[in-house]
Amino acid sequence: MFSVPALTYNYDALEDYISADIMQLHHDKHHQGYVDKLNAAVEKYPDLQGLAVEDLLVKLDTLPDDIRTTVRNNGGGHYNHCLFWLWMSPQGGGQPSGPLLEAILQRYGSFDAFTEEFTTKAVGLFGSGWVWLQPNMDIVTTQNQDSLLSKGEAAPLLGLDVWEHAYYLDYKNKRPDYIAAWWNVVNWPVVEQRFDASK
Ligand code: MN
């Protein structure tokens, strides 16, 4: 059975940028909802039980017809949100360092140019979805809770949830304000570790 991992910080730890109300609702209700629906789907297929969510997403095309969409949406939601909590920290913000910073500079010229392009794609994503930084330094988007793993692509280094549930309580319809605030909580050491592990 899948479960929602506990946050490694308090609900109000990101309060200057993301309120405790959003964190609690997002973590305890939205993420829990994905997990509950994922568990209900996999329960029907003993062969699939015990697989990691990554495995389910990678082999999405081979899953039984009656649960494929449920796993796509809710398995994707579970995987994406497990990472999202780790990508934020009350000690976050600033810039990465080391090989990750070098790779960003090589591709984008400056850290500011990188955040500008990421932000532009996040603001421009129509509807609900995610923006990702990939190990090859591409910045890509997916709709809804779709996972890059199901498209045969690498696991993301960093991702931003731009569903309205991630910001509406604090920022109403002002997605750009949410994104500008989010950069202040990005947990760069985790992104650096994922970059090192991707090689
Ligand atoms: Mn979300």
Q: How far apart are CA 191 and CA 171, in angstroms?
A: 26
pLDDT the model gives residue 96: 98
Let me know if 1 is exposed, middle or buried by CB neighbors in 10 A (0-12, 13-18, 19+): exposed
pLDDT the model gives residue 152: 96
pLDDT the model gives residue 132: 98
Residue appearing with tokens 């979805």: 129
| Cα 19 to ligand 1 centroid, rounded to whole Å | 14
| Cα 25 to ligand 1 centroid, rounded to whole Å | 10
At 52, list the tokens. Answer: 């990691």
Which residues in the chain show pLDDT less than 70? none
| Cα 102 to ligand 1 centroid, rounded to whole Å | 30
Is pTM beyond 0.85? Reply is yes
| Cα 30 to ligand 1 centroid, rounded to whole Å | 7
Phi, psi dihedral angles at 121 (to 5 degrees): -70, -35
All domains of the chain, ordered by start, with CATH? 19-86 (1.10.287.990), 98-198 (3.55.40.20)
| Cα 114 to ligand 1 centroid, rounded to whole Å | 23
Q: How far apart are CA 91 and CA 190, in angstroms?
A: 12
| Cα 47 to ligand 1 centroid, rounded to whole Å | 28
Q: Is the distance from CB of 57 to CB of 71 less than 8 angstroms?
A: yes
Q: Is the distance from CB of 146 to CB of 72 less than 8 angstroms?
A: yes
| Cα 7 to ligand 1 centroid, rounded to whole Å | 14
| Cα 55 to ligand 1 centroid, rounded to whole Å | 21
| Cα 109 to ligand 1 centroid, rounded to whole Å | 31
Q: Is the distance from CB of 101 to CB of 95 less than 8 angstroms?
A: yes
| Cα 106 to ligand 1 centroid, rounded to whole Å | 31
In eight-state DSSP terms, residue 6 is: P
| Model pLDDT for residues 14-69, shown as the tens digit of each residue | 999 999 999 999 999 999 999 999 999 999 999 999 999 999 999 999 999 999 99
